[in-house]
Structure 1
């Protein structure tokens, strides 16, 4: 792929919404999703010359976005642990030890349910989380998810099945706790 401004502009315009939505599904925070999106397109721009057409541009961009999102979350979580005991210095803001759930696709009356759901999704192992988000949240086919994750379709089906089973168990436990607290 030629590394020129026109190619990058076309790629950016075509995939900016996809990248932002995937980043938002991982981070559940609009500011973080914007930062991840910016980082993804910096990587895309820097890697355009070395892109091999073994997969589609869409699959390549999905992979970069997922990896960037997971790296961002890991980095953010390590900062949370580091600053958990307060400010490092008087000039630094104390790092909040909770997720700021902002997702424009969620109706206001459903935001509490969505917080619980996404918090539970975030407890899944990375591969299960990625397969579940791509399949059930982004609506991709198992074939597309397999290409993005570079796995077999049967492996993706297994990941999704295990993710759904785990979510069902975890959410039913949360519901039981909620019902006990209401009594």
Structure 2
């Protein structure tokens, strides 16, 4: 795994190869990340990345949030409950030297609590596939003031999702067994 473009282009990230089923880690591949960010920054949706406050739920290795930082996001908050994944995120933050723009919340994404800072404008949601965890995480983020009005939400899932009433679908893309749904918070 590596950063695809931007400030840290080509820099390697700590990874697990094809993932760790026991830890529910399934890193987003370089190819899917490249396609996703090309779509996000291609102009069709404006530019939801540059200067964004990013929330990366079920962050795994942190690759999505770190890619956003590399491409101009202001800061990123990683939320991860797994110890192995927390270690990978911490290592990747240190490797890129972005500790001043990144923080790791070591907790369940479905129990975020209150956000004491400005709401986020770009949310990555990559829960373990097929477990229905994404809906609860979005609900918690919304109730805690983490999601700003008009925020862009990127939901990566392997099964059908239940769309929150306060979101509209912008686009849906399939990459093998992965479906990425782009949502807008209303």
Superposition TM-score tier, normalisation by shorter sequence: under 0.3
Higher fraction of helix = 1
What TM-score do you get using the length of structure 1 for normalisation?
Answer: 0.26
Higher relative contact order, structure no. (Cα contacts within 8 Å, ≥ 6 residues apart) = 1
User: TM-score normalised to the size of structure 2?
Assistant: 0.26
